[in-house]
Chain A
């Protein structure tokens, strides 16, 4: 058994890894990007207290956090065609994952915005900044480092949740593992192998997180300061 199993494990490794790189990762990146755009909007209309939109945003978050991701995925891919909305599997998955994660990310971003000291908002108004300028130039740049660890946490979660896409015909990492398991009758080995590949992806992400976090503190921006010093002599 050992030689056969070893062979299967070795040959299947790249077979599972490739759809991971070609499908799982793009699916994760697209869904996360979409979720961030939506989440930013959902968070800002709440913080800015825009009547109507704020309540709508709360309703959205209530629904998407309160129902299972798999159910949302099925509604979008299998359900919507009956009202005339036909989507390919990949965009359907991006929309489902993105909309679901947006609800969570919106709360992370909202909390981070509220964590930026209020005094700076007053100072910004007093030097003549408008609300959008205040947000873009003062609040969001400071909210980002606060939100980053939680957002990254959600990204890692998403990477693994994309395995649910196998249930709507997308051939990604986990689907491929399933297929090989069925063909070789080695479910334990194949699913463990799939798990190891997910673990490798997440390990890389964790390194990226640590690397970025170190550079998110303002006083560590040595390069910025040097660059500006050069500017000074020019003035």
Chain B
């Protein structure tokens, strides 16, 4: 359903994505793993046009476009079909949680105000924050802010939601509530791409795992197989290290 082909991206002389192909099917949950600096976040930012690639092509639904020569209007069209959840939440600090969720509906999509408000309440209920709807972001905990951000991302019913390390900026005791919301979304059949360091989440929730290193995909496959029988030595090394950490945490 969403596919990018031959992504090249360099920052200065530093090549971050080296001709990467990436694909997600409808209803699929893909976890993108890899050591820091492997280009995971850059991949998501390129898909959502927050970074302009040097070369690449995107296929999304029935839209197909070159990613370098693309108008702002066309980019907006693509983005209207995507939801994005940032590591640092990025809620609008001058608006209540409710208005954060409504904003994309009323302003960008001309949904009537009452209808938008109904949807926003429903989304906040979904992430378990109905009682915080009228609070400003500064009055919410990190976990609550991220849940509002998820509600904002799903409000317009996008075809795919991109999560950029959604729990990395949270205190350990707050990651659970965010992962729980994401697990629920996955169960409802939401198409999701999740860049994460949460191995347990990737193993239990993702359908497919993509392992990246050095701007390319080293290995990908069904989540269970990936964790039990990694094919590549580099993947196995990575898993030993992070799962070892996971064990020693307990």
Contacts and interface: CB of A to CB of B under 8 A. Distances in A.
Interface of A: 117, 119-120, 122-130, 133, 137-138, 141-142, 218-219, 221, 224-225, 228-229, 231-232, 235
Question: What 5 A-B pairs come out closest when comparing CB atoms?
Answer: A128-B108, A127-B104, A119-B90, A123-B90, A141-B94
A224 B84 CA distance: 28
B109 A225 contact: no
B96 interface: yes
A218 B90 contact: no
B121 A126 contact: no
A128 B94 contact: no
A142 B94 contact: yes
Contacts of A120: 90-93
Nearest to B88: A119
Say which size band chain B's interface belongs to: 35 or more
Given A125-B79, A129-B103, A228 B98 contact: yes
B79 A128 contact: yes
Interface stretch (B1-9, B131-139, B178-186, B222-230): B131-139
A228 B82 CA distance: 29
B92 A128 contact: no
B117 A128 contact: no
17 contacts: A117-B90, A117-B93, A120-B93, A125-B50, A126-B79, A126-B82, A127-B79, A127-B103, A127-B153, A128-B76, A128-B104, A128-B107, A128-B108, A138-B92, A138-B94, A219-B136, A229-B134
Interface of B: 48, 50, 76, 79-80, 82-84, 86, 88-94, 96, 98, 103-104, 107-109, 114, 117-118, 121, 133-136, 138-139, 149, 152-153, 156
Given A221-B136, A232-B121, A126 B93 contact: no
Most buried by B among A120, A127, A128: A127
A40 B93 CA distance: 21
A128 B80 contact: yes
B131 to A, nearest CB: 11
